[in-house]
Structure 1
Amino acid sequence: MGGDGPQRHPLTYVRRQRGWSMEDLARLLALAARRRGMLMHPGRDRIYKWEHRLATPGGDYQMLLADVLNVSQADVVRLGWPWWLPAYDAPRPFTTGGTHAALTEVLVALDDPDRRGFLALTTGALASLASDWATIEPERLTGALAGRRVDATLLAWLETRTTELRALTNTNAPECTTLIHALLKTSIQLIRTGAYDEPTGRRLLRVTASAAQCAGWLHFDQGEHGACQRHWRSALHAAHTASDRDLGAGVLSDLAYAATWLNHPAAAVEILEHARSRTHSPAARALLDLRRARALAVLGDHPATTRALGSAEHQLDQSRPGTSPAWVSWMSPADLAVDAGRCWLDLNRPKRADSALAQGLILLDPARERTRSVVLAYRAEAALARHDLTAAAADTREALDTAHATQAARCIGLVNATLDKLAPHRSHPAVAGLFTRAGR
């Protein structure tokens, strides 16, 4: 599902893990070709193109890569590129032991963030993880661990701070990263070494799941997809062990959202179907339906997208203020309008998209600057589809300023992609001014 950084590729991870430069890998490929009696001399430029997704290695080159990496040719054929590369993780079982392993993995990564910078699950493994979550019932916690008893006041403080930090990340994400990591580290250490009864253990797990979910979004916004997925997977395990099905469904919806963002909409639909099967909160179901609509729109399924949007609106109408889980308390008619607008864009309905996005901007909480930058970029895309270059340039300019103010790499990258779409129209005065402002 992608790696950390805008150019990270599983081949980059594999190569760096072995301490190879691009030149080293090119030399090893040439040696592998010689052993097979093939006259092939790949250079650094070819590997650069593979790692930057500018080209896909052909069958012969994949065969040579498999030789160098000691991967069977059967796996190359069965899994396809790039999924056969030895850069992908294996899911943990939904057991108490599996949860502890997932949380320990996050704890290690917090101390050494570069150690597992890429490792993630394949889309197939993600769908399997969602299926297991939907069918496996949580184990009963096996009682207190050896250690100092968890203080009730400290636990209450952690719960309050987690809720506060979740709200703060909407407006002060870079400043909150260190705080949420420290809170997550504390809660995991208490789970691993503290003494507590079963109700206290479940509260600790919910705090940990919430903090890990929040941390995952911070990594996602910076394009750090390996770290993002690792936090969300640990959150899913913690929520499952705590028997909080709605929170687990919310984490699965985040994984599905990321899958759609990284152009794996079919996997997102499958994940969301499993997540929807175990939810109770109307607001949670509304979010799942909305994200399913997003994935279906990318797939070009107009009728199913319309049905999912209608269901999301109905479920949101059923929710009552103060009754929604904290992780979905931000869900509002503004989000429904914004995501509907993105759906209509993907379904080539720019006028309908523009209307929905305009409504979303009116309803959106002014504090949600990251969402605002995304909406403006979407609206610029809709204006461009209508051939209104003046409006497209104006929205892109505002999106650019807003995105840079948030410091979120995801938002900045989206605006840069919009600029790329406007590049063929640089002769237009408004677009020319925009590119001058952007320094391009």
Structure 2
Amino acid sequence: MDLDRHPLAHLRRHNHWSGEDLARLLRDQARRRGLRSGIDRNRIWLWETGRATPTEESQLLLADVLGVPTAAIEQLRWPDWLPAFEQSAPFSPSGSRAALREVQITRMDRRSFLVLSSSALIEVAADWARIEPRHLSQALDGQHVDEELLTWLEQRSGELRTLAAGPHPQVCTLIDAHLNIAIDLITQGRHPSAAGRRLHAVAADLAHCAAWLRFDADRHADAQRHWQAAVHAAHQAGNRDLAAVALSDLAYQATWLSRPADAIRVLEHARSRTRTAAARALLDVRRARACAVLQDHQGTQRALTSAETELDRIHPNDTPPVISWMSVADVNADAGRCWLDLGDPGRARAAIDSGLGELDPRRSRTKAVFLTYRAEGSLHNRDASATAAAARAALDTALDSGATRCIDLASALIRRLDNRTEQPMIELRDYARERLAA
């Protein structure tokens, strides 16, 4: 096997480990387990060149070092369980087709293992910020795409986006089916450049929806692939705002998974080419969130002020559908989350309450997240009754939405209250056990 392509070699270089460094880490882990190991750098080299396969014991040691659940070893063969990173595709017609085909590949999703490293994630954003969309080729091998089919796909895309906002478990399958059709037409069809741009716009919209559904299901690697595909397709369609929004979603995911510094760098590139105030407002709010996690008070305040300024400039007529939901409710509630992170629960509570009061009631997943923020704010204020009431509402809303990410967020907050002896907290724990067991 090619040394440069083996995932273990890639992981080792990514962590700046020499062969001897990794061998020493494995021997240390063996000692902690009460075992003896003779792993040396030559053994590592044999694994990376495919001349030998690690024993089951060695793979368990390696999983410990890499922080990989042992279940992954059982489910996936060596070396497929290694959380190696993929490389980003170039922003060219062929590169974008490759990124789109990636989401058609059926694979076991390893949930929290991201496919893009920090450098690769930022490279996607930087490449997009540098490159202007190119015209698609006048013809691709395959069949002609007629106007009737193209119009039908565009209409269905809009309808599916609307359905994706609600608690409709079947919508993910429908979106995947239509996305596969669009990708097949792009990669196999023959059409003029105008039709090609429309097809890419459909693919971008559907990939973006599919990514959010996977993110809400805690399928992070799969979500990342779909967001990257959305950036590529939007780029080929010439839709800067959709590409920027998809990049901002990648940044939001990075913050959610404790990589806020990556998020800020991605957002810097993404904002450089936005066209509408709504898109800039969203990117500013997400930058504020990342700054708050990093305890950057000034950066948070600047980003929130900019978001409010852009919000005042929004005109519904020039706001693309992908960002039409952006409102003062989102700015306020996310600002509240920022103040919580920065240790100002009083200011946070007022902002979160304002955001919840103005939120579109159909946005159940967003409401569940905001209610969890309210509960955390009440916890900071040592208000047991308010904390229990908000946490119960958050759990109910999350369960009704069916979004694993929201359920996990509310459940994690409730687990933090296990040592609390106030009556409202005891009743909350009993209620949560019943609801989660149902």
The answer to whether the Cα contact below 8 Å between 2:89 and 2:98 also exists between their aligned partners in 1 is yes
- 1:246 to partner: Cα distance: 1.2
Distance (whole Å) between structure 2 residues aligned to residue 49 and residue 113 of structure 1: 23
Does residue 95 (structure 1) correspond to residue 95 (structure 2)? The answer is no
Q: Could you say which residue in structure 2 is the equivalent of 1:314?
A: 309
Match of 1:380 among 349, 357, 375: 375
Match of 1:336 among 331, 337, 353: 331
Match of 1:131 among 110, 126, 141: 126
- 1:137 to partner: Cα distance: 2.1
Q: Could you say which residue in structure 1 is the equivalent of 2:425?
A: 431
The answer to whether the Cα contact below 8 Å between 1:30 and 1:42 also exists between their aligned partners in 2 is no
Equivalences, count: 384
Q: Could you say which residue in structure 2 is the equivalent of 1:159?
A: 154
Distance (whole Å) between structure 2 residues aligned to residue 355 and residue 326 of structure 1: 29
Structure 1: which amino acid aligns with 2:138? G
Q: Could you say which residue in structure 2 is the equivalent of 1:20?
A: none
Distance of aligned partners of 1:176 and 1:132 in 2 relative to their CA distance in 1, 3 Å threshold: same
Q: Could you say which residue in structure 2 is the equivalent of 1:325?
A: 320
Alignment of 1:64-79 (within 5 A): none
Structure 2: which amino acid aligns with 1:431? M
Structure 2: which amino acid aligns with 1:106? V
Output one character per residue of 1:180-230: Cα deviation in whole Å (capped at 9) or x when no partner.
Answer: 001101100111111110011001001101100110000000000110000
Structure 2: which amino acid aligns with 1:132? D
- 1:31 to partner: Cα distance: 4.8
Distance (whole Å) between structure 2 residues aligned to residue 303 and residue 263 of structure 1: 20
Distance of aligned partners of 1:222 and 1:99 in 2 relative to their CA distance in 1, 3 Å threshold: same
Q: Could you say which residue in structure 2 is the equivalent of 1:357?
A: 352
Q: Secondary structure at the match of 1:144?
A: coil
The answer to whether the Cα contact below 8 Å between 2:114 and 2:220 also exists between their aligned partners in 1 is no
Distance (whole Å) between structure 2 residues aligned to residue 268 and residue 239 of structure 1: 20
The answer to whether the Cα contact below 8 Å between 1:139 and 1:241 also exists between their aligned partners in 2 is yes
Match of 2:407 among 406, 412, 417: 412
The answer to whether the Cα contact below 8 Å between 1:89 and 1:119 also exists between their aligned partners in 2 is no
Structure 2: which amino acid aligns with 1:161? R
Output one character per residue of 1:327-355: Cα deviation in whole Å (capped at 9) or x when no partner.
Answer: 10010111111111111111111111110
Match of 1:187 among 169, 182, 186: 182
Match of 1:232 among 217, 227, 246: 227
Match of 1:113 among 102, 107, 111: 107
Q: Secondary structure at the match of 2:419?
A: helix
Output one character per residue of 1:152-192: Cα deviation in whole Å (capped at 9) or x when no partner.
Answer: 11111111111121121111342210110011011001111
Distance of aligned partners of 1:34 and 1:103 in 2 relative to their CA distance in 1, 3 Å threshold: closer
TM-score by length of 1: 0.81
Output one character per residue of 1:78-113: Cα deviation in whole Å (capped at 9) or x when no partner.
Answer: xxxxxxx661101111111101111111122xxx23
Structure 2: which amino acid aligns with 1:102? A
Distance of aligned partners of 1:119 and 1:423 in 2 relative to their CA distance in 1, 3 Å threshold: closer
- 1:33 to partner: Cα distance: 3.0
The answer to whether the Cα contact below 8 Å between 2:289 and 2:337 also exists between their aligned partners in 1 is yes
Alignment of 1:234-273 (within 5 A): 234-273=229-268
Match of 1:33 among 26, 31, 39: 39
Distance (whole Å) between structure 2 residues aligned to residue 388 and residue 119 of structure 1: 38
- 1:319 to partner: Cα distance: 0.8
The answer to whether the Cα contact below 8 Å between 2:109 and 2:219 also exists between their aligned partners in 1 is no
- 1:138 to partner: Cα distance: 2.2
Q: Secondary structure at the match of 2:145?
A: coil
Structure 2: which amino acid aligns with 1:363? E
TM-score by length of 2: 0.82
Output one character per residue of 1:303-329: Cα deviation in whole Å (capped at 9) or x when no partner.
Answer: 111111111111111011232011100
Q: Could you say which residue in structure 2 is the equivalent of 1:276?
A: 271
- 1:420 to partner: Cα distance: 2.1
Q: Secondary structure at the match of 2:318?
A: coil
Distance (whole Å) between structure 2 residues aligned to residue 281 and residue 32 of structure 1: 60
* Cα RMSD for the two superposed structures: 2.8
Distance (whole Å) between structure 1 residues aligned to residue 126 and residue 38 of structure 2: 40
Long gaps (5+) in structure 2: 1-10, 13-28, 44-55, 70-77
Distance (whole Å) between structure 2 residues aligned to residue 409 and residue 230 of structure 1: 19
Q: Secondary structure at the match of 2:343?
A: coil
Q: Could you say which residue in structure 2 is the equivalent of 1:62?
A: none
Match of 1:219 among 206, 214, 218: 214
Distance of aligned partners of 1:104 and 1:45 in 2 relative to their CA distance in 1, 3 Å threshold: closer
Q: Secondary structure at the match of 1:381?
A: helix
Distance of aligned partners of 1:207 and 1:34 in 2 relative to their CA distance in 1, 3 Å threshold: closer
Distance (whole Å) between structure 2 residues aligned to residue 35 and residue 269 of structure 1: 37
